[in-house]
Structure 1
Amino acid sequence: MALKIWVARNNDTLRIIADQKRVSIDDLITLNPSIEHPDQNIAGKLINLPFVTESDMRQVAIPPTCPQPSEYIDNWIPLTPLETMAENEYDVLIVGTGAGGGTMLWRLCEQWRNNGKRIGIIERGSIVMPSHGRNLPMMNRTRLTQYYQYISKSLQGSLPEFIGAREVICLGGRTVFWDLVTSRLDLSLLPDWPVPIPEMETYYAMAERVMNVTQEYAKGSSLTESLLTRLQQGGFPESRYMPIAADLQPTKFGEVHADVFFSSFSLLAKASFLRSFDLAINARAVQVLVDQGKATGVKVMSPDMRSYILKAKTVVLSASTYETPRLLLNSGIEGGAVGHYMTNQVFMLAPGKVKRSDFTDIAGTLAILITGTPEKPYQIRLVGPSGYDWYPSSEEKPFLEELDILLQCFGKIDPRYENRVSLNPDRKDEYGVPEIEVYFSFSEAEQAEIQKMVDTVKRISSVADIAMGEICLVPTGDLHHTSGTCRMGNDPSTSVTDQYGRVHGISGLYVADNSVLPFIGSGNPTLTTVALAIRTADHIAEQA
């Protein structure tokens, strides 16, 4: 047999060489008797190889080498440099990747999946998590809260009237940390809602479907079922299972449900598998560009202070209730309502305890929502137990004589012109954009409502047999339900956008985040923000 010599490389074994050279392992063992074992590391040794002729190759009929991938991505989500984005003109450019921006991106990709429209989306922050924090198995309530405190930053200009306000600036925005409660607003309790209610019902259904909203999350739990019965029989018939944005479908047919709890990442993922789009992070929008009453793009800056002009036929601002009006005002877009009519909710916490012996061996999770009514225009949640976690944790829970639960109380704050954010020309951030100042106060009626909420909590504790602790008022701004600073409406003197989210007086400029909500009462805003963003995306797609 003719032979040739091969110098073994790092980590080579006879078996590896046999596979690479397409020769018999038995021949290699025979030709190299000094090698004790075919899986021995033989780096640097001279190895005898049988010489295989072209005739021999034809006889073995070895299949051709499989093609190897020639391209790669350097991140788990494809990113586009700002330099590249500045070379294009976008049919739609979205600013912000939270609930509104993520929804807008997904819906446009769905509507335009088979055409040549160009879509871009930019995010001021970087990547801090690849999913909602509750989807990470190492998280519990304490760790998630601690990480939120690290990632979020105090809102500049919020003192002293909005002391608890914080911003979450990262890919996915607040949806990385949000509490997942996805109830519809009771629009009959909200005066002058600008979108016809039947149409809202349609878009609510779309939003619930894409967010996997379910009332089955805690259904069947002994803790939830027992307390729900006590409440409904004790004068609170509006009590119900809490709707949660959670994908509870089991994996079947090999389909993977990777993100149980909804976040903007769920929509970014859906969009990425529909069609291509450009996404840039660490891209600070500093100015909306307008020419003769039409939006033409956005001026953006990178962390190294380089400036880029991103051209677009349509611009959608989804930066946040604070950042969207800040961007409009810094761009000279100062309609009479920009930044005004800011609203949030009175937020109180009432800790309580229930007897462990009242429930089955596995008490389960507590997740009950008491919706607002005309007589009681505030919302109350019952959540728990054990550290106020109503979502799962891998921690072992000890058997306790009493279970800690929590009542979360949300009272409405009416939109008032004087509650607002405005620019502070004397303080600018590192990009030269003026910081905002917040002006906020409770009205006398809202202060009176706080006492009514306290009285209701006491009634709940009585009918549900809950031993209540001390009720406390959470600092203003701490609740992430701030909205209204670019409110939607028909009158340009009291609103910033029309009913489709289009900024009054400027074509091609839209808003799609919590700031467009004209009033939220005591409800949760996220589902409504998603529903309106879908509707705005449909309108943009129809106009194109």
Structure 2
Amino acid sequence: MSESVDVVIVGSGPVGSTFARVIGDARPGCRILVVEAGPRVPGVPGLHTQTMPPEDLASAQLLTQGPQSGIDQSGLRETGEAASLDPVLDQDQLVRPGLFLLGKGAKVEGEFGMAAASMSSGVGGMGIHWSGSSPRPNGTERIPFIPADELDQAYDTADRLLSVGRDLAGGDDLLRRMRSALAAEFDGDAPDASPVIMTPLAAVVDEDGTRVSGPSVILGDLAERVPGFELRAGTLARRVLIEGGTVHGVELESRATGEIYQVRSSEVVVAADALRTPQLLFASGVRPRALGHYINDHLKMTGMAVLPDAFAADDRVPAPVRPIGVVLIPFSSRVREIQGQVHPAARSIWFSGADFAGLAFYGAKELQFSDCVVFSESERDSFGMPAMTIHYTLTDRDRATIDLLESSATRAVAALDGELKSLVFAPGGSSLHYQGSTRMGAADDGESVCDSYGRVWNVHGLTVGGNNVIPTATAANPTITSVALAVRAAQKLAERLGEPEREAEPV
């Protein structure tokens, strides 16, 4: 190994960027190498596509599509079948611009599967494409074995890193009346029901308008302040090098030249998404019982409603100065284990219109050990890594949750005196909120892969981060939770980097 650093971070999305930022802030003298399998995209590293000029947006989408790189997917639309839990799908229609499907192995015959399971491969990861929705989880969505005050502090830091605003509406009358109408419908579901609020959004607001934040906002000026920081694009992590239960470095491959080389490091963080993180652990020989198991994806129902005049708006106000807001019907333990978001088009940064609203309702999936992503010993994917197969089924409880999604969305539209024009139950994988595949636990009991700081059981120096570490059944958008957990894990890792060298003991 001719190259040596203090920590290697695999993945440049919101979570990988958070590890780099927190460690760099705490230990500015550290050498931090972030590797990203995908290419650089226009603009500063990790810039959200929504902030790019149209020509740069189109270029970024073409670049981040992995094996579909360079193929224009802008005319393709997501599809779903509300009438069937096992739809016959045209996979081409599930592709979103800038992403690529897992494809083969995403859906096993006879199972619900995750036919829409998608990934992004480029600097910033999925964080340059996401919506910015950042609600904190409630009740049973929260992780019970992390002290509440510690978790809340981590959420506060995550909010600052992502520039999360609690209410971007700015006192807008339309949003206030819409929230009040939905609160009158849903707040009475139970005495302790989680109240209807405005969705916290990760966004930068200034005189130029509202822009979704992401990895570029998290990283900030880290590259200028930390001389040892490097973001190396087009670099695939093939395996983590482990001897005697201790990390010694990583084996990397240049995607441009095919060169395979090693970098020495005593700390490695894998934050490569909920499918490729367990894949890299498997390729590295790290295969605890729970690896890849308990994978879950939010049950998803989307729709569109026409709004009456009372909730329509004058859409002639220029978009950069238009009030922005999404009304949130939160998850509420034992009351409604779903989350609903109502997006009035007249107050959206994503689309425009005066008299309609988009609906996005998510349900908590019942967790099962049998829901899993497994990896092949012999077959390889387009990156040359172990091929994946997902086993994923719905339970009776899940079917009841799907019914609740439909009835809740219908209630929301009725509360606004709107007209429901479409409501679709989406194929598995559509939410892009895959979780649990390297879940954390309170103890090494075979039901988890890592501890509450993301430290992989029995491998000193190996940390995992991302939606994949979330161990609970949730309906809330998971990114802010993953960033908060990364904050907490990175602080612990930075402490270790500041300690004098000593004989390492596996976690």
Give the secondary structure class of the aligned counterpart of 1:232.
helix
> 1:414–1:521: 8 Å Cα contact kept in structure 2?
no
Counterpart residue type for residue 103 of structure 1: T
Residues 1:208 and 2:136 are matched in the alignment: no
Find the residue that maps to 1:537 and give its secondary structure: helix
Q: Which amino acid aligns with 1:203?
A: A
Question: Residue 348 of structure 2 corresponds to which residue in structure 1?
Answer: 390
In the alignment, is the contact (CA less than 8 A) between 1:223 and 1:366 conserved in 2? no
Query: After the TM superposition, which residues 20-419 of structure 1 pair with which residues of structure 2 at under 5 Å, given as runs?
Result: 87-113=2-28, 115=29, 117-130=30-43, 131-138=47-54, 146=74, 149-156=96-103, 157-160=105-108, 161-186=113-138, 188-190=139-141, 193-236=144-187, 238-249=195-206, 260-276=211-227, 277-303=229-255, 304-356=257-309, 358-359=311-312, 361=314, 365-374=324-333, 375-385=335-345, 390-391=348-349, 403-419=355-371
What whole-Å deviation, never above 9, does each CA across 1:40-75 have from its counterpart, x for those lacking one? xxxxxxxxxxxxxxxxxxxxxxxxxxxxxxxxxxxx
SS at match of 1:246: strand
- Residues 1:477 and 2:429 are matched in the alignment: yes
For the 8 Å contact 1:222–1:360, the answer to whether it is kept is no
Shift of 1:344: 1.4
Distance 1:433 1:203 in 2: 33
For the pair shown, which has the larger CA radius of gyration, 1 or 2? 1
Change (3 A) 1:162 1:216: same
Tell me the CA shift for residue 214 of structure 1.
Answer: 0.7
Question: How many pairs does the alignment contain?
Answer: 442
Is residue 439 from structure 1 mapped to residue 398 from structure 2 by the alignment?
Answer: no
Q: C-alpha displacement at 1:359, in angstroms?
A: 4.5
User: The residue matched to 1:510 in structure 2 has which SS?
Assistant: strand
From the superposition, tell whether residues 284 and 392 of structure 1 become closer, same or farther in structure 2 (CA, over 3 Å): closer
Is the Cα–Cα contact under 8 Å of residues 14 and 127 in structure 2 kept in the other structure? yes
CA displacement 1:226-248 (0-9 Å, x = unmatched): 21121122343621111111122
Instruction: Give the aligned partner of residue 26 of structure 1.
Output: none
Partner Cα distance (1:141, 1:240) in 2: 32
**So what's the TM-score if we normalise by structure 1?**
0.76
Query: Do residues 460 (structure 1) and 416 (structure 2) align?
Result: no
1:269-302 superposed Cα distances (whole Å, 9 cap, x missing partner): 3321321212211111111110111011111111
Aligned-partner Cα distance in 2 for 1:456–1:298: 48
Task: Report the Cα distance in structure 2 between the residues aligned to 1:466 and 1:300, rounded to whole angstroms.
Answer: 54
Instruction: Sort the Cα spacing of 1:349 and 1:359 in 2 relative to 1 into closer, same or farther, 3 A.
Output: closer
CA distance in 1, matches of 2:244, 2:294: 28
Note if contact 2:186-2:329 (Cα within 8 Å) is conserved in structure 1: no
Gap regions ≥5 residues in structure 1: 1-85, 252-256
Cα contact 1:241–1:369 (8 A) shared by 2: yes
Are residues 1:450 and 2:405 paired?
no
CA offsets per residue over residues 121-150 of structure 1, 9 Å max, x none?
Answer: 100100234310111243899998839834
Q: Give the distance between the partners of 1:382 and 1:236, measured in 2 at CA.
A: 15
State the SS of the aligned residue for 2:127: helix
Distance 1:120 1:360, change over 3 A: closer
- Distance (Å, rounded) in 2 between the aligned partners of 1:420 and 1:520: 15
Q: Secondary structure at the match of 1:451?
A: helix
Q: Give the share of equivalent positions with the same residue, in percent.
A: 24
Tell me, yes or no, if the aligned pair for 1:96 and 1:121 is still in contact at 8 Å: yes
1:426 to partner: Cα distance = 4.2
- 1:466-516 per-residue CA deviation (whole Å, 9 max, x = no partner) reads 111232111110211101100011232100001111000010000011111
Aligned counterpart for 2:486 among listed residues 525, 533, 538: 533
Aligned to 1:53: none
Query: 1: CA distance between counterparts of 2:56 and 2:175?
Result: 21
Aligned counterparts of 1:178 and 1:417: Cα–Cα separation in 2? 28
Q: SS in structure 2 opposite 1:535?
A: helix
Q: Which of 365, 375, 381 is matched with 1:423 structurally? A: 375
Aligned-residue offset at 1:431:
5.2
Q: Give the structure, 1 or 2, with the largest relative contact order (CA under 8 Å, sep 6 or more).
A: 2
Which consecutive aligned stretches of 4+ in structure 1 deviate over 6 angstroms post-superposition?
Answer: 139-145
Which whole-Å CA distance do the structure 2 matches of 1:480 and 1:431 have between them? Answer: 20
Q: TM-score, normalised by structure 2?
A: 0.82
- Is residue 165–residue 201 contact of structure 2 (8 Å, CA) maintained in 1? yes
| Structure 2: gaps (5+ residues) | 62-72, 76-94, 189-194, 318-322, 498-507
1:172: Cα distance to partner?
A: 0.3
**8 Å Cα contact 1:351/1:470 also seen in 2:** yes
Conserved? CA contact 2:168–2:325, under 8 Å: no
In structure 2, how many angstroms separate the alpha carbons of the residues matched to 1:530 and 1:240?
Answer: 22
- Give yes or no for contact 1:367–1:384 (8 Å, CA) kept in 2: yes
Check whether the contact 1:175–1:264 (CA below 8 A) recurs between aligned residues: yes
Deviations 1:4-57 (A, max 9, x none): xxxxxxxxxxxxxxxxxxxxxxxxxxxxxxxxxxxxxxxxxxxxxxxxxxxxxx
Task: Determine the C-alpha separation between the residues in 2 that align with 1:134 and 1:354.
Answer: 26
- Residues 152, 167 of structure 1: 8 Å contact kept: yes
Seen in structure 2, the aligned counterparts of structure 1 residues 140 and 308 have a Cα distance that, compared at 3 Å, is closer
Q: Tell me how far apart the structure 2 counterparts of residues 139 and 231 of structure 1 sit (CA, whole Å).
A: 39
After superposition, give the CA deviation of every residue in 1:191-232 in whole Å (9 maximum; x if it has no partner).
763311110001101111121111232343343222112112
Distance in 1, Cα, partners of 2:361 & 2:33: 39
Moved more, 477-486 or 228-237: 228-237
1:4 corresponding residue in structure 2: none
Cα distance in 2 between the residues matched to 1:179 and 1:464: 24
